[in-house]
Structures are given as structure tokens and as C-alpha cells.
């Protein structure tokens, strides 16, 4: 009887040990899949991205000095969900994706300045004070950055509303969180950040003030390119004598995305749809004013959620930056710019495909089910099945 109890206890011990070992293997497998899909994949995808090389012409003289290169990162349309349309699972999934992508890019690429080209939030145009505060807190956590990295933000229609929704309260609320400066200069490069929502051209007070501010910037920029006596260019130090880079949310006027190409361009069924002025793109008049007033050498915009490269006027290039969020596209990306006062080079860096992550989870779940069925004896082991099949063929 004692021997029987000893044998039975020993059997239970082996059974418990086997189950515990299986449980540990399953936990290790699940943790490995989570680690890959939620952390490692961002490093694997962003690591191959490199800053583009820019021509740095040397100045005259025997001791030649190359122009300093500014590393700038451009992203757009993060659309942090609010309390009205934001399902908690959607928030958790897409915001974690943007946070991991941004933090990984900061660590690997080490940009000096980051520009976000509008539509930071999805519901800024109607969010309550408390909801706005919550959204801002989440944004500051997701896009946290070291002190030596500057973060500059351009306002979008989802942040303050379209022209008919825009008011001073929403604009001031946005500018209280994000620096309202319109002109930013660093390493001899001028960046003009435009509130494109206010370029309606209907003479409203906010629109008139925005145009007057742009005209003042235009005067300063034009003055810096000409030889003027001190004091003739207004107060403060003179601006670098460099054509500006124009940053805004709405693209300049174009008929559609029909001529846009690339893997991040609009879907084929959407490319031929005509754009509506003052809704999808700026009006012809507002676009022409910006080109006349600022004479930019490069324009970067967002809003369409898709990539596009177009030329305006006398060959001024505009790059529409795709959305940074899985919520708006399967293959989000950002733009890396190496810039000097006279030259620039741009490159695009793609983030992990949402489909890749979902398929990885599905494959892992399927494999997990098979392993459980094999352990329970409901399905033959694939290795044993293959061995028997091989022996059968050898016998034949």
C-alpha cells in the first residue's frame, strides 16, 4: 500500500513538473512575441534609416570651413484621439505605436529639431478644457524629448477647427502649450511656420492678423537677403540671409494627387478625386501669396495623410508628409532632413507596417494553439508525424 502511494505521488509530481515546464515555455513564448512586436520591431525597421548627405560647399579662402548641417525630423497628423471618438483600445494601440516609433527614432537618429506639421490632436476643435488638458498630458508623455532636442509644432484644422470653427480661444489655448513663434532660425536656416487655417482670404480679424504677421516676416526675410544699413531691417538681430523653409498643415493648391507616386501616396481610387480649395488644400490666391511673400526654397506640409512631391511656380518643391499614425495609414513614415543655409537633402523613414505586427500576432496565436493541442494529445506532433511519413516513404 505504501509503495502504491509512493508511486502515485511520484506520478503526480512528474505530471505537475511537466505542466509547470509547459507553462513556463508558453509564458516565455508569449513574452518573446510581445517583446518583438511592441519593442524590437521598431529598432529593426528604423535602424536602416540614415541621414541623407547634403552638399556643403566650402567658402573661399585657404582655410575652408564647411557649412554646419542641421538634422531636422518632420512628421505630421498624429491625431491623438479624444474622449468623444477615441475608443480605449484604439487609443492604447495607436498611441503606443507612435510613442515607441518616436522614442526609437530619437534614440537611433538623434535629430536636433523635430517639427510636427499639424493635427496633433483629433478633437482639439471641440474638446472641453478638461479633455484638452488630458490630451496635452498624453502628448507630452508620448513625444517627450531631451532638453537639447527642440520640438516645434504647426497648428492644424483638428487642433483649432476649420476656418468656420476657429476662434481666439482655441488658438490661444493651442499657443499656450506650443510656442506661437512663426519664424525660427537655427544654424543659418530660416523656418517659417504658418497657421494655414487662417489663410481663408475672407478678411476676418484672425485672417487679417495672420496675413499681416506673414507680411512682416516677409519684410524681414527680404531685408536679410539685401545689403542694408543696421536698423533698417527692424528690431533685433538680423536674420540669416537664407531662403526660408515653409512649414504648414494645408498643402499649397494642387488639383489632386493624380501625379503623386510612391508607396505612401494616396490609394489609386482616391488620386483622381479633385481637391477642394480651403478644405483639402489652400486656395490658389493664398498659395500664390505665400510664394510671393516668402520666396521659400522648400515647402513641407501635412493634412492629406499621404505622401506627394510637387513643384510650384518657378520650381519650388513641396513635400506632403504622410501621417505618423497607424490610424490613418498602414505604412506611416516621417521625413529626415539634412539642411544647411544653401542646400538640403531629404529622406523618408518608414515605420513598421501595422499588417506585419497583426500577422505576427496571428501566426503566434496559431502556433500556440497547435502546441497546446499537441500537448493534450488531440493532435499528433508535427515532428513525429513527419518522421512516420518519412519512414513510410523509405519502406515503399
Query: Which pLDDT score, from 0 to 100, does residue 61 have?
Result: 47
Query: How large is the average pLDDT for residues 32-37?
Result: 94
* pLDDT, tens digit (0-9, with 9 covering 90-100), for 66-114: 788 999 999 999 999 988 887 778 888 889 999 999 999 999 999 999 9
Residues 255 and 115 placed together within one structural domain of the fold:
yes
Query: Which pLDDT score, from 0 to 100, does residue 62 have?
Result: 45
Q: Is the pTM of this model over 0.85?
A: yes
Residues 297 and 380 placed together within one structural domain of the fold:
no
* Enclosing domain of residue 151: 67-352
Count: domains in the chain: 2
Residues 191 and 323 placed together within one structural domain of the fold:
yes
d(CA 160, CA 118): 10
Q: What is the CATH number of the domain that holds 314?
A: 3.60.21.10
Residues 79 and 187 placed together within one structural domain of the fold:
yes
Q: Is 20 a member of any domain?
A: no
Residues 339 and 363 placed together within one structural domain of the fold:
no
* pLDDT, tens digit (0-9, with 9 covering 90-100), for 184-225: 999 999 999 999 999 998 889 999 999 999 999 999 998 887
Would you call 108 helix, strand, or coil by DSSP? helix
Kindly write down the DSSP assignment for every residue of 115-134, as one continuous string: EEES--BSSTTT--HHHHHH
Residues 247 and 378 placed together within one structural domain of the fold:
no
- Residues in contact with 319: Cβ distance below 8 Å, sequence separation at least 6, in sequence order: 298, 299, 300, 301, 307, 308, 309, 335, 346
Residues 361 and 311 placed together within one structural domain of the fold:
no
Write out the E strands in 13-112.
70-75
d(CA 216, CA 293): 9
Query: Buried b vs exposed e over 280-318: b needs ≥16 C-beta within 10 Å?
Result: bbbbeebbebbbebbbbbbbbbbbbbbbbebebeeebeb
d(CA 93, CA 357): 11
* pLDDT, tens digit (0-9, with 9 covering 90-100), for 176-187: 999 888 999 999
d(CA 276, CA 282): 9
Residues 222 and 195 placed together within one structural domain of the fold:
yes
Amino acid at each position: 500500500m505504501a509503495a502504491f502511494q509512493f508511486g502515485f505521488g511520484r506520478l503526480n509530481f512528474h505530471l505537475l513538473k511537466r505542466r509547470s515546464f509547459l507553462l513556463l515555455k508558453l509564458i516565455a513564448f508569449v513574452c518573446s512575441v510581445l517583446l518583438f512586436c511592441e519593442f524590437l520591431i521598431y529598432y529593426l525597421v528604423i535602424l536602416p534609416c540614415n541621414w541623407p548627405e547634403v552638399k556643403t560647399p566650402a567658402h573661399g579662402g585657404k582655410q575652408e570651413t564647411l557649412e554646419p548641417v542641421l538634422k531636422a525630423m518632420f512628421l505630421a497628423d498624429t491625431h491623438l484621439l479624444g474622449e468623444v471618438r477615441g475608443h480605449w483600445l484604439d487609443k492604447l494601440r495607436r498611441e503606443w505605436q507612435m510613442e515607441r516609433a518616436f522614442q526609437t527614432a530619437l534614440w537611433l537618429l538623434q535629430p536636433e529639431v523635430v517639427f510636427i506639421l499639424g493635427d496633433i490632436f483629433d478633437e482639439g476643435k471641440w474638446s472641453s478644457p478638461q479633455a484638452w488638458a488630458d490630451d496635452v498630458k498624453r502628448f507630452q508623455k508620448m513625444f517627450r524629448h531631451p532638453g537639447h532636442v527642440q520640438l516645434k509644432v504647426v497648428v492644424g484644422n483638428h487642433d483649432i477647427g476649420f476656418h468656420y470653427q476657429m476662434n481666439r480661444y482655441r488658438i490661444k489655448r493651442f499657443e499656450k502649450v506650443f510656442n506661437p513663434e512663426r519664424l525660427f532660425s537655427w544654424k543659418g536656416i530660416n523656418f517659417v511656420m504658418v497657421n494655414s487655417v487662417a489663410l481663408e482670404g475672407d478678411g476676418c480679424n484672425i485672417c487679417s492678423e495672420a496675413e499681416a504677421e506673414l507680411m512682416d516676416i516677409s519684410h524681414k526675410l527680404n531685408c536679410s537677403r539685401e545689403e542694408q544699413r543696421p536698423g533698417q531691417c527692424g528690431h533685433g538681430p538680423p536674420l540669416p540671409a537664407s531662403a526660408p523653409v515653409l512649414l504648414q498643415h494645408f498643402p499649397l493648391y494642387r488639383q489632386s494627387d493624380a501625379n503623386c507616386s510612391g508607396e505612401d501616396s494616396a490609394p489609386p481610387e482616391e488620386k483622381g478625386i479633385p481637391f477642394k480649395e480651403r478644405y483639402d488644400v489652400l486656395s490658389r490666391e493664398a498659395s500664390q501669396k505665400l510664394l510671393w511673400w516668402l520666396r521659400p526654397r522648400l515647402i513641407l506640409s501635412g493634412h492629406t495623410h499621404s505622401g506627394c512631391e510637387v513643384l510650384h511656380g518657378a520650381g519650388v518643391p513641396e513635400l506632403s508628409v504622410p501621417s505618423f499614425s497607424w490610424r490613418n495609414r498602414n505604412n506611416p513614415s516621417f521625413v529626415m532632413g539634412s539642411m544647411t543655409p544653401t542646400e538640403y537633402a531629404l529622406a523618408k523613414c518608414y515605420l513598421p507596417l501595422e499588417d506585419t505586427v497583426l500577422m505576427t500576432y496571428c501566426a503566434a496565436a496559431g502556433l500556440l494553439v497547435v502546441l497546446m493541442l499537441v500537448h493534450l494529445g488531440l493532435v499528433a506532433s508535427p515532428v513525429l508525424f513527419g518522421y512516420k511519413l518519412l519512414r513510410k516513404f523509405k519502406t515503399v
